[in-house]
């Protein structure tokens, strides 16, 4: 026996598209976190903006608002009234022509008919009502007038059951009787359901008898009520959106639907049942239409259903309610309103949100707040380090650094072999790469015993220099850093250097010190999440004291001091531990700062100052400190700060390496993107 298969349209976007890449999302979120946003807010902002490959929530919401506005501004609601008036005019004109041509008609009868036609009310509804008992002399006029009754019946049905206007065109008396029977049974079912007396068999019998009227094939009474109530509520909002005159006309005309008030009575009964079962629907709202394209009752109801759906989508995309998730967005509705591409964008954003929450990049702390996890910090650090590498490799005279370290101590890492490498092969990874390649390309036949190596399969063992360093990165966290837009570049620099040391030079010891009004040792997670400090004071004196403590803890390592600042020292520690602050810088503050720098120099530290900004006083001061310490001053642009610090660190390592080398001018030369590869 064969099992039957069912097929439906694929709704997942490109079936061959790779899984969502979180790298760009994490980079953007990390930037906002370093700028002071909470991770939750940063994630929300990313989802709102989108990225280079997809629209964000803001763009989708804008398009939703534009479509809503276009629907209301391009239509009005008197389409049915216009059509009735046109048919009425056509019928009366045909009747007048027949009266003029019929020479056999009694003159008195002719005059009475003409007077009746001449005295018709200006209101189409009143005219139709008056002519409902008129004996038409013209068969063409009679047929046209019957079209009015038929139109009204089809429009009223189309208001509650989409598509009925077209389906009932040219309907017979038998078709109208089937509609009447369906409405009666439907109202009986809904009233029974409201009392709680209905059964599954009742619904199944109803669908078996009248299922052709419901092509959407609801699976239960509740689904049937949901669909009908949404349409009926839209019909009520359409009536409320009309002018009082239009509304009165239609209410009067509705009594003529199919030539009797019976249909209108059944529909009024249906509206009452649905409103009782779904009181939460918007039964009393209204909209302001301002266009010139007339809508019939059914089409107008459909437009208002679209407007309601657009409003629901706008709320879902806004994500402003408690517990909001992008999984809440109705993708089917979004595709109906904006097209499949918009639904794919929203689905991808939802996948990114789920992945960020489930992949371990965001963690909840003991206080319940989301934070970037160590995994996220490593990912962000890799991206920042890669950016620094790109900038270094673009400098004039730069060349790649092939070796991962300086001599024979393995780092535990491997990388792809490149011409000129002398490191030993990592045989297990090399063979595994070859097997994977052959399987992926289909080159490996079943039962094959050997493996064919290619150059691209080879990986070599990385080694690390034996010379180790104790690195103190002192970053200015004073008021001016935040005020002048240097806060985030400072954090990016610290994170890139932390990533480099923790992954490629694990034997080195890095300590991050923030110095503002006072100085403190910061973990990378603390520094990344540190809000801008709006407190005046640049206490380099305290920072140098903490750097010396770090160097003393690692007496066998080469001390390296890196200082990032945009201002002269304006604070120092007193013997009591209190902070002394004065601006302009006090001579005592400068003297104590210089004293501690001398202590650092006596410990043998290699020193580099990174000057931000164009303050001439700061330039003179740092130049003097660099000459005193035998170090150097680098004045990078903000975008180049990370590359400058990383390049300086690598240059100092090259100067200490067993095979020598030069860091080049400012510590940049000699190192490109190769220091992070692998």
**Domains and their CATH numbers in the chain:** 24-74+310-372 (no CATH), 76-289 (no CATH), 408-464 (no CATH), 468-675 (3.40.50.410)
pLDDT value at position 660? 43
Q: Quote the CA–CA distance of 519 and 540 in Å, as a whole number.
A: 8
Is the pLDDT confidence value at 410 over 90? no
The pLDDT score that the predictor gives to residue 407 is 43
Per-residue buried b or exposed e for 450-474, using 16+ beta carbons within 10 Å of the residue's own CB: eeeeeeebbbbbbbbbebbbbbbbb
pLDDT for 446 equals 65
**Closest Cα to residue 484, out of 566, 591, 564, 592?**
566
DSSP letter at 508? S
Beta carbons within 8 Å of 147's beta carbon, 6+ residues apart: 87
Is pLDDT at 463 greater than 80 in this prediction? no
8 A C-beta contact, residue 187 and residue 221: no
pLDDT exceeds cutoff 80 at 88: yes
Q: What is the reported pLDDT for 2?
A: 47
Query: Residue ranges of the alpha helices (H) in 359-418?
Result: 374-393
pLDDT attached to residue 353: 83
Residue pLDDT, tens place only, 533-582: 777 899 999 999 999 999 999 999 999 999 999 999 999 999 899 999 99
pLDDT tier for residue 415 given thresholds of 50, 70 and 90: confident
pLDDT confidence of residue 525: 83
3-state secondary structure of 415: strand
Per the structure block, which two tokens stand in for 177? 């009787």
Q: Where are the alpha helices (DSSP H) in 372-486?
A: 374-393, 427-441, 479-483
pLDDT band at 396; cut points 50, 70, 90? very low
Q: Give the pLDDT mean for 262-268.
A: 88
Question: Can you list the alpha helix ranges (DSSP code H) found in 603-640?
Answer: 616-629
Buried/exposed code over 159-175 (b: 16+ C-beta within 10 A; e: otherwise): bbbbebbebbeebeeee
Examine the pLDDT at 362 and tell me if it is beyond 60: yes
Angstrom distance (rounded) from CA 195 to CA 554: 82
Tell me how crowded residue 661 is: count the other CB atoms within 10 A of its CB. Answer: 18
User: What is the arithmetic mean of pLDDT over 194-217?
Assistant: 92
pLDDT in tens, 21-58: 677 788 888 777 777 676 777 888 888 888 877 788 99
Of the candidates 27, 92, 62, 130, the one whose C-alpha atom is nearest the C-alpha of residue 495 is: 27
Pairing of strands 469-476, 558-565: parallel
- 3 state SS of 26: helix
Average pLDDT for 215-230 = 92
More confident residue, 658 or 557: 557
Mean pLDDT of the chain: 84
User: Which phi and psi angles does 168 have, rounded to 5°?
Assistant: -95, 5
Crossing angle (nearest 10°) for helices 23-34 and 39-49: 130
pLDDT at 36: 66
Pairing of strands 632-634, 558-565: unpaired
Residue carrying structure tokens 């939460």: 280
Q: Quickly list H helices, 564-615.
A: 587-602
**Average pLDDT score over residue span 416-429:** 79
More confident residue, 92 or 351: 92
Nearest CA-CA partner of 287 in 330, 337, 220, 236:
236
Range 620-629 average pLDDT: 95
Residue 478: pLDDT above 60? yes
User: What tens digit of pLDDT does each residue of 275-331 get?
Assistant: 999 999 999 888 988 877 888 888 888 898 999 999 999 999 988 877 778 888 999
Q: What is the distance between the terminal CA atoms of the chain, rounded to a whole angstrom?
A: 54
Asked if 272 and 146 count as a contact pair (C-beta separation under 8 A), the reply is no
Q: Cβ contacts of residue 412 below 8 Å, gap of 6+?
A: 462
- The reported pLDDT for the residue numbered 400 is 36
Q: Which pLDDT does position 411 carry in this prediction?
A: 61
Provide mean pLDDT across the span 189-218. 93
Q: Which of 277-286, 418-427, 434-443 shows the lowest per-residue confidence on average (mean pLDDT)?
A: 418-427
Least confident range from 15-19, 154-158, 370-374: namely 15-19
Nearest one of 484, 237, 284, 496 to 381, comparing CA atoms? 496
Assess whether the previous peptide bond of 584 is cis (omega < 30° from 0): yes
- DSSP 8-state code for residue 531: P
Report residue 252: phi and psi, to 5°: -70, -40
490 alpha-carbon distance from chain centroid: 28
Supply 168's token pair. Answer: 């009932």
Give residue 511's pLDDT: 96
pLDDT in tens, 1-13: 445 555 555 555 5
More confident residue, 385 or 146: 146
Please give the structure tokens belonging to residue 437. 């390649």
Q: What local confidence, expressed as pLDDT, does residue 20 receive? A: 65
Distances (CA, A) of 275 to 56, 183, 226, 233: 37, 16, 11, 8
Give the largest CA-CA distance in the chain.
131
The yes-or-no verdict on residue 406 having pLDDT over 60 is no
How far apart CA 426 and CA 142 sit, in angstroms, is 96
Is the pLDDT at 399 greater than 90? The verdict is: no
- Least Cα distance to 441 among 433, 430, 449 occurs for 433
pLDDT at 658 over 70: no
| β 459-464/409-416 pair status | antiparallel
358/392 Cα distance (integer angstroms):
35
- What own/partner pairs with CB < 8 Å and gap ≥ 24 does 184-188 have? 184/266, 185/209, 185/210, 186/210, 186/270, 187/266, 187/269, 187/270, 187/273
Specify whether the backbone of 19 is left (phi greater than 0), alpha (psi in -120 to 50) or beta. Answer: beta
Residues 403-409 have a mean pLDDT of 44
Q: What is the pLDDT of residue 500?
A: 87
User: In this predicted model, which residue has the larger pLDDT, 78 or 407?
Assistant: 78
| Average pLDDT value for residue range 83-107 | 91
Collect all residues with Cβ–Cβ distance below 8 Å to 122 and sequence separation of at least 6. none
Q: Which two tokens stand for residue 4?
A: 């039957």
Instruction: Give SS3 for 283.
Output: coil
Report the b/e string of 349-374 with b at 16+ CB within 10 A: bbbbbeebeeeebbeeeeeeebbbbe
């Amino acid at each position: 026996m064969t099992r039957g298969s069912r097929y439906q349209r694929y709704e997942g976007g490109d079936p061959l598209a790779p899984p969502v890449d979180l790298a760009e999302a994490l980079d953007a979120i990390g930037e906002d976190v370093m700028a002071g946003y909470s991770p939750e807010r940063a994630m929300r902002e990313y989802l709102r903006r989108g990225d280079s490959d997809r629209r964000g929530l803001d763009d989708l919401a804008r398009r939703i608002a534009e479509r809503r506005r276009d629907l209301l501004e391009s239509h009005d609601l008197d389409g049915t009234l216009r059509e009735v008036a046109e048919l009425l005019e056509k019928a009366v004109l045909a009747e007048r022509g027949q009266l003029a041509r019929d020479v056999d008609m009694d003159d008195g009868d002719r005059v009475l008919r003409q007077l009746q036609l001449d005295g018709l009310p200006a209101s189409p509804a009143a005219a139709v009502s008056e002519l409902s008992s008129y004996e038409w002399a013209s068969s063409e006029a009679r047929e046209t007038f019957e079209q009015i009754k038929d139109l009204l019946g089809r429009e009223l049905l189309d208001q509650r059951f989409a598509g009925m206007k077209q389906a009932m065109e040219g309907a017979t008396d038998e078709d109208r009787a089937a509609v009447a029977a369906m409405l009666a049974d439907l109202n009986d079912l809904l009233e029974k359901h409201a009392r709680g007396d209905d059964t599954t068999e009742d619904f199944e019998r109803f669908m078996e008898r009248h299922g052709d009227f419901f092509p959407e094939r609801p699976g239960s009474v509740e689904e049937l009520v949901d669909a009908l109530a949404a349409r009926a509520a839209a019909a009520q909002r359409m009536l409320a959106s009309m002018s009082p005159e239009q509304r009165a006309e239609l209410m009067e005309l509705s009594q003529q639907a199919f030539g009797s008030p019976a249909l209108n009575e059944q529909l009024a009964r249906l509206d009452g049942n649905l409103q009782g079962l779904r009181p939460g629907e918007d039964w009393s709202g209204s909209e302001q239409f301002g266009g010139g394209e007339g809508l019939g009752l059914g089409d107008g109801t459909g437009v208002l259903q679209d407007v309601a759906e657009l409003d629901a989508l706008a709320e879902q995309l806004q994500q402003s309610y408690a517990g909001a998730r992008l999984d809440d967005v109705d993708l089917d509705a979004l595709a109906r309103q904006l097209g499949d591409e918009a639904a794919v964008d929203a689905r991808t954003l939802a996948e990114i949100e789920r992945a960020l929450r489930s992949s371990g990049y965001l963690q909840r702390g003991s206080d319940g707040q989301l934070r970037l996890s160590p995994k996220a910090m490593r990912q962000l650090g890799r991206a920042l380090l890669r950016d620094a590498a790109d900038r270094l490799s673009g400098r004039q005279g730069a060349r790649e650094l092939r070796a991962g370290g300086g001599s024979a101590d393995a780092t535990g890492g491997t990388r792809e072999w490149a011409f000129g490498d002398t490191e030993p092969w990592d045989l297990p990874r090399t063979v595994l790469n070859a097997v994977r390649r052959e399987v992926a390309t289909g080159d490996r036949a079943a039962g094959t015993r050997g493996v064919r190596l290619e150059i691209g399969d080879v990986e070599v063992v990385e080694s690390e220099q034996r010379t180790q360093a104790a690195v103190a990165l002192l970053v200015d966290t004073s008021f001016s850093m935040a005020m002048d837009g240097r806060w985030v570049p400072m954090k990016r620099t610290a994170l890139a250097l932390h990533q480099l040391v923790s992954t490629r030079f694990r034997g080195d010891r890095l300590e991050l010190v923030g110095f503002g009004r006072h100085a403190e040792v910061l973990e990378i997670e603390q520094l990344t999440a540190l809000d801008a400090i709006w407190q005046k004071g640049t206490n380099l004196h305290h920072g140098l004291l903490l750097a010396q403590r770090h160097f003393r803890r690692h007496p066998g390592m080469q001390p390296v001091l890196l200082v990032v600042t945009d201002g002269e020292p304006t604070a120092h520690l007193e013997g009591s531990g209190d902070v002394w602050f004065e601006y302009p810088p006090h001579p005592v503050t400068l003297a104590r700062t210089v004293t501690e720098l001398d202590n650092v120099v006596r410990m043998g530290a290699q020193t580099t100052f990174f000057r931000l900004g164009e303050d001439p006083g700061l330039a003179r001061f740092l130049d003097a400190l660099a000459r005193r310490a035998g170090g150097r001053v680098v004045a990078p642009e903000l975008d180049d700060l990370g590359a400058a610090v990383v390049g300086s660190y690598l240059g100092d390592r090259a100067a200490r390496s067993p095979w020598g080398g030069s860091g080049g001018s400012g510590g940049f030369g000699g190192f490109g993107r190769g220091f992070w590869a692998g």
